[in-house]
Structure 1
Amino acid sequence: MTTGGLARRLGVSPTTLRTWDRRYGLGPAVRADGRHRRWTPRDVAVLEAMCRLTAAGVPPAEAARAARETAAATVAPGNRVAPAAETPSPPTPSAAGDRPSENGRRSRPAASLPLGDVRQECRGLARAAVRLDAPAVDAQLTSAVQRYGLAVAWEEVMVPTLHAVGRKWASSGDRYVEVEHMLSWHISTVLRRVTPVSRTAGPDGVPGPVVLACVPGEQHTLPLEALNAGLTEHGLSTRMFGAAVPAEALTAAVRRLGPAAVVLWAQARSTASLPLARHVAATQWGVRGARGNPLVVLGGPGWAGRSAQGMLRPQGLGEALAVLTARCESGTPVG
Structure 2
Amino acid sequence: MHDLSGTSFLTSDALKQEELFPIREVSRLTGVNPVTLRAWERRYGLIQPTRADSGHRLYSQSDVEAVRSILAWIERGVAVSKVGKILAKSSSPKVAVSPLYENVSSGEWGEWQTQLRRAISAFDEGRLDRLYGQVFSSYPLNVVFQDILMPLWQELLIRQEEFGQTSEWLFFDTFLRARTLQRLQISRAEVDEFVLLAPIPGHCRELELLVAGLLLSSPDLAVNLLGMGQPLSELTLVCEKIQPLALVLFSNHPPSEDLPRQLTRLALALECPLVLAGDGSDLAEDSLSGSPIACLGNEGRLMQRRLQQFLAGHLDT
Scaled by the length of structure 2, the TM-score of the pair is 0.57
Higher helix share: 2
Q: State how 1:2-151 maps to structure 2 within 5 Å.
A: 103-106=104-107, 118-151=109-142
Give 2:104's aligned amino acid. N
Q: Which residue of the other structure, out of 262, 276, 280, is the alignment partner of 2:266?
A: 280
Q: Does 1:300 align with 2:301?
A: no
Instruction: Note the C-alpha offset of 1:118.
Output: 4.1
Equivalent position amino acid for 2:176 in 1: I
Tell me the CA shift for residue 240 of structure 1.
0.2
Seen in structure 2, the aligned counterparts of structure 1 residues 169 and 197 have a Cα distance that, compared at 3 Å, is closer
> What is the CA deviation profile of residues 43-101 of structure 1, one whole-angstrom value per residue up to 9, with x for unaligned ones?
xxxxxxxxxxxxxxxxxxxxxxxxxxxxxxxxxxxxxxxxxxxxxxxxxxxxxxxxxx9
Greater relative contact order: 1 or 2 (C-alpha under 8 angstroms, separation 6 or more)?
2
How far has the Cα of 1:176 moved from its partner? 0.5
Answer whether contact 1:165 1:179 (CA < 8 A) is retained: yes
Query: For the Cα contact (< 8 Å) 2:306–2:315, is it kept in 1?
Result: yes
Please provide the CA RMSD for this pair.
Answer: 3.0
Contact 1:260 1:327 in 2 (8 A): no
Q: Name the % identity.
A: 16
Secondary structure at the aligned position of 1:119 is classed as helix
* Residue in structure 2 matched with residue 183 of structure 1 by the alignment: 172
2:151 maps to 160
Check conservation: 1:266, 1:303, Cα contact below 8 A: no
Q: 1:324/1:190 Cα in 2 relative to 1: closer, same or farther (>3 Å)?
A: same
| Counterpart contact for 2:260–2:288, Cα < 8 Å | yes
Distance 1:269 1:232, change over 3 A: closer
Q: Quick check: 1:316 aligned with 2:299?
A: yes
1:166 shift after superposition: 2.4
Alignment gaps of 5+ in structure 2: 1-101
Q: Deviations over 1:84-122 (max 9, x none)?
A: xxxxxxxxxxxxxxxxx952432xxxxxxxxxx843211
**Structure 1: gaps (5+ residues):** 1-100, 107-116, 201-205, 286-292
For 1:103, give the aligned amino acid.
V
How high is the TM-score relative to the length of structure 1? 0.54
Residue identity opposite 1:281 in structure 2: A
Largest Rg, 1 or 2: 1
User: CA separation of 1:298/1:102 partners in 2, compared to 1, >3 Å: closer, same or farther?
Assistant: closer
Number of residue equivalences? 208
Deviations along 1:171-205, whole A, 9 cap, x unmatched? x2x531111111111111221232338989xxxxx
Match of 1:40 in 2: none
Query: Does 1:243 pair with 2:228?
Result: yes
* Residue 325 (structure 1) shift: 2.8
What amino acid maps onto 2:122 in structure 1?
Answer: R
Change (3 A) 1:146 1:118: closer
Q: Structure 1 residues 197, 148: closer, same or farther in 2, change over 3 A?
A: farther
Distance 2:315 2:281 in 1: 22
Off by >4 Å, runs of 4+ in structure 1: 197-200
